[in-house]
Amino acid sequence: MRRLRTADLDQWYSKLRRSGAAGGKPLAPNTVMRAHAVLRRALAQGVKCGWLTVSAAANASPPRSKKQHLELPDPADVARLSEAAANVNPSLPTYFRLAAATGARGGDLCALRWKRIGFRQAPRDARPEHGRGGRQAHRERHEDAPGPQGHGRRRDGSRARRAPRGVPSAGGEVSERARSEVMQAESGKPANFTPDEQSMTLARVPDRS
C-alpha cells in the first residue's frame, strides 16, 4: 500500500471504465465512484492510524457521472403502456400504474405486499417486504402512495399524480372484491384480507365473488 501512487489509481479507474464489468464490458461511472469511495476511506484510515504517510486516493481522479435529464411519461403514455403490457403479462399494468403514481423503484414494487399498505394513513405508507433466508432482498423504505381520488401529496409537497381507485388485477381491470376491500379500508374499516392474501403481491388478490 505504501508503494501505491495516485497515477496507479487513475490507471485502474480508466481500466474499470473500459472493461471492468462482466464479459469485459464497460463499468458505469457510478460503480467506479463507489469503488473509489471505499478505497479512499480505507487509505484515509491507514493515514489516521499511522500506517501510511499519505493517501494515494486523496488526489485521484475517478470518472464523474453525467447528470441525466429524465423525461417523465404523461398519463396518456402510462395508459398506453399499461394496455400494451397487459398483453405480455396481466400483472404488469399494476406495477406500471403504481410506479407512475408513486415514483417507487421497480424492485420495491415487486416486493410490496398488501399488508404493507397503510390505506388509512395520510400520507399513505407503503413498505416493501423483507427478503427471506437471512438475506434482505429489499431495504425497507417508505413511499407516498396516492390518496383517495389520487389527491395525496409527495414528500416534497407536490401533488401526486392522479391514480385510479383500487389496484388493477389481471388485464389492468380492478376486481370487484379488490375494489370493495380498498373502499372499505379508505372508509376506516378494516379490510377483510386473509393472512395469506396479505402476503400476496398487489397483482395477486383473488376475487372470491
In SS3 terms, 174-189 reads as CCHHHHHHHHHHHCCC
pLDDT of residue 120: 55
Q: How many helices (H) and strands (E) does the chain have?
A: 7, 3
Question: How high does pLDDT run on average in the chain?
Answer: 69
**What pLDDT was estimated at residue 42?**
93
- State yes or no: pLDDT of 124 exceeds 70: no
> Would you state the cell numbers that stand for residue 199, as one nine-digit string?
402476503
In this structure, are residues 20 and 26 in contact, taking their beta carbons and an 8 Å threshold?
yes
* pLDDT surpassing 70 at residue 196: yes
SS3 content of the chain, % helix, strand, coil (to 5): 40, 10, 50
Task: Give pLDDT tens digits for 135-193.
Answer: 444 444 443 444 333 334 444 444 433 333 333 333 333 344 554 555 454 444 445 66
Could you give the domains of the chain? 1-65 (1.10.150.130), 75-198 (no CATH)
The residue type found at 15 is K
Q: Which of 78-87, 100-109, 170-179 has the lowest mean pLDDT?
A: 170-179
Model pLDDT, residue 121: 53
Q: Which of 108-112, 119-123, 161-165, 181-185 comes out lowest in average pLDDT? A: 161-165
CA distance 45 to 51: 9
Distance from C-alpha of 107 to C-alpha of 138, rounded to nearest angstrom = 7
Residue 102 near residue 145, CB atoms below 8 Å: yes
Q: Express each pLDDT in 47-80 by its tens digit.
A: 999 999 999 999 898 888 777 777 778 888 888 9
Copy the grid coordinates of residue 59: 488526489
Classify 152 in phi/psi space as left (phi over 0), alpha (psi -120 to 50) or beta. Answer: beta
Question: Does this model's pTM top 0.75?
Answer: no
- For residue 52, CA distances in Å to 22, 37, 74 come to 33, 18, 55
Quote the pLDDT of residue 11. Answer: 92
